[in-house]
Amino acid sequence: MAGDIDPQLVRAIREAVEARREDLVALLLRLVGTPSVTGHEGPVQDVIEQEFRSRGLAVDRWEARPEEIAPYVEHVGEQARYEGRPNLVARWPGSGGGRSLLLNAHIDTVEVGDRSAWSHDPAGEVAGDLVYGRGSCDMKGGLVAFLGALEALRSLGVRPRGDLLLNTTVGEEDGGLGALSTVLRGYRADAVVISEPTRLALVPAQGGSLVFRLTVTGKAAHAAMRDEGVSAFEKFLPLYQDLMAFEAERNRRLRHPLYERIENKVPINIGIVRAGVWPSTVPETLVAEGRVGLAPGEDMASFKREVERRVAEAAERDEWLRQHPPRLEWFSGQFAPAEVPADAEICRAIVRAHEAAHGSAPSVEGVTYGADMRLFILFGGMPCVMYGPGDVAVAHQADEHISVTELVAAAQTFAVLIAGWCGLAED
């Protein structure tokens, strides 16, 4: 049921958002056409700041500082640079008497990658109902949906009773620098919604992911005398196989109501392997970098010790590795898992808003990836959930895209959510 949300208001909101469909697409193309790979987000934040100010919003712009981040570097990772990477908060002040809401979208993206793998322009292209381009789905589309909601409400001559904060942040793809800095700057709200691409599902639980480096030592020899050496590559293989067995064991024993339908709840992946220096030399060193997944409710420090024990036990079963134990290091931003109760007030509010706007309740799901959601919960003490247009399955890939219909639907939900959560007054 839609609760106390006025059906006439919902209908007016739906129509007001739909009337802006072409404007939303144009804005998304402008944002996608402004590259913002992690570490180089300044130009797109300039565009977003212009968009905020053109709507009469007061804007706070700042850069994270190394000294403020230093105590939290395990969580967001070492940064190559801080300068030229501004974060923004735009405020639509409430008239009073309502709850506040912070709407967050990260604006950094991964690299385009192999341009020849794209069949559409990674700088933005429309084909039917889809907008293609790097960042269209992850997650500039989510920001556009927020702005579409704001514009629809303003066109109806209303304003929120509680403060509405629009927050665009840098560095999510490698740890969450901008979201953490937003919290450390003192921003708080009664709830936070991140418009990650969830296919319009409500996500109150996110997994964690820890990044590791595993160094395996062998013994170099001429390839013609291979048996005189010990291949670090061959010694890595049983360690890798044991990690895969560890993943399978964890999937069998871990239980969480929002993850029961997910076959691999806690993926382990080896993303980079470097071994050897010459084709005709037995490799004496191998360095593998990867990630291990955590489920909500797991403690990051305890799990690190569990992985370290597992690698050590696997090494003990090999005579060479027993004498030359592999070295395991944790590096980069470590994503702790996080969740809020599925029946938290903000969860119920989103369910009501989605149902009012679209006639049925949204799916409620957990996700296996890490996200900025954890930083608002763990360090900001705020209930935070994810809900947004787009499918994470196409993020980071060639031909990344988002459905315009879903983009519009998300904007409609957000507008109804603001009405229900913050309350509305005549402007």
Contact 207, 298 (CB under 8 A): no
Torsion of CA 162, 166, 170, 175, to 10 degrees: 40
Q: What is the pLDDT of residue 1?
A: 33
Active-site residue, from 51, 125, 151, 172: 172
Whole-angstrom distance, CA of residue 240 vs CA of residue 238:
5
Which residue segments constitute the domains of the chain, with CATH numbers given?
7-206+337-426 (3.40.630.10), 208-330 (3.30.70.360)
Check if 63 is active-site.
no
Burial of 6 (0-12, 13-18, 19+ CB in 10 A): middle
User: What is the CA 334 to chain-centroid distance, rounded?
Assistant: 13
Mean of the per-residue pLDDT values of the chain:
97
Closest CA to 179 of 401, 386, 416, 389: 386
Q: Which residue has the tokens 């944790």?
A: 330
Q: What is the pLDDT of residue 297?
A: 94
Whole-angstrom distance, CA of residue 217 vs CA of residue 227:
16
Torsion of CA 125, 128, 129, 134, to 10 degrees: -20
Q: What is the pLDDT of residue 333?
A: 85
Contact 109, 400 (CB under 8 A): no
Q: How far is CA 195 from CA 47, 142, 275, 333, 388, in A?
A: 19, 5, 40, 21, 4
Within the chain, how many helices (H) and strands (E) appear? 13, 18
181-205 in b/e burial notation, b at 16+ Cβ within 10 A?
bbbbeebebbbbbbbbbbbbbbbbb
Contact 202, 364 (CB under 8 A): yes
Active-site residue, from 41, 51, 108, 339: 108
Instruction: Average the pLDDT over 197-217 and give the result.
Output: 97
Q: Which residues pair with 289 in a beta bridge?
A: 213, 272
Q: What is the pLDDT of residue 427?
A: 86
Instruction: Average the pLDDT over 25-50 and give the result.
Output: 98
Does residue 326 surpass a pLDDT of 50?
yes
Q: Which residue has the tokens 């889809």?
A: 130
CA 381, 387, 392, 394 torsion: positive or negative? negative
Q: Which residues pair with 230 in a beta bridge?
A: 219
Residue 329 in tokens = 């290091």
Instruction: Give percent above pLDDT 90 in the chain.
Output: 98
pLDDT tens, residue by residue, 254-266: 999 999 999 999 9
| pLDDT bracket for residue 3 (50, 70, 90) | very low
Among 45-49, 307-311, 313-317, 332-336, name the one with the lowest average pLDDT.
332-336
Does residue 59 surpass a pLDDT of 90?
yes
Strands 125-127 and 101-106 turn out to be unpaired
Q: What share of the chain is helix, strand, coil (3-state, %, to 5)?
A: 40, 25, 35
Whole-angstrom distance, CA of residue 178 vs CA of residue 77:
12
pLDDT tens, residue by residue, 102-160: 999 999 999 999 999 999 999 999 999 999 999 999 999 999 999 999 999 999 999 99
Whole-angstrom distance, CA of residue 231 vs CA of residue 221:
9
Q: How far is CA 171 from CA 5, 39, 77, 106, 147, in A?
A: 36, 7, 10, 7, 21
Instruction: Give the amino acid at 299.
Output: D
Radius of gyration of the chain (CA): 24
| Reported pTM | 0.94
Contact 230, 317 (CB under 8 A): no
Does residue 401 surpass a pLDDT of 50?
yes
pLDDT tens, residue by residue, 272-312: 999 999 999 999 999 999 999 999 999 999 999 999 999 99
Whole-angstrom distance, CA of residue 191 vs CA of residue 178:
18
Check if 172 is active-site.
yes
Instruction: Average the pLDDT over 312-333 and give the result.
Output: 96
| pLDDT bracket for residue 5 (50, 70, 90) | confident
Report DSSP state, residue 172: G
Whole-angstrom distance, CA of residue 289 vs CA of residue 273:
7
* Packed helices 404-422 and 141-155: angle between N→C axes, nearest 10 degrees: 60
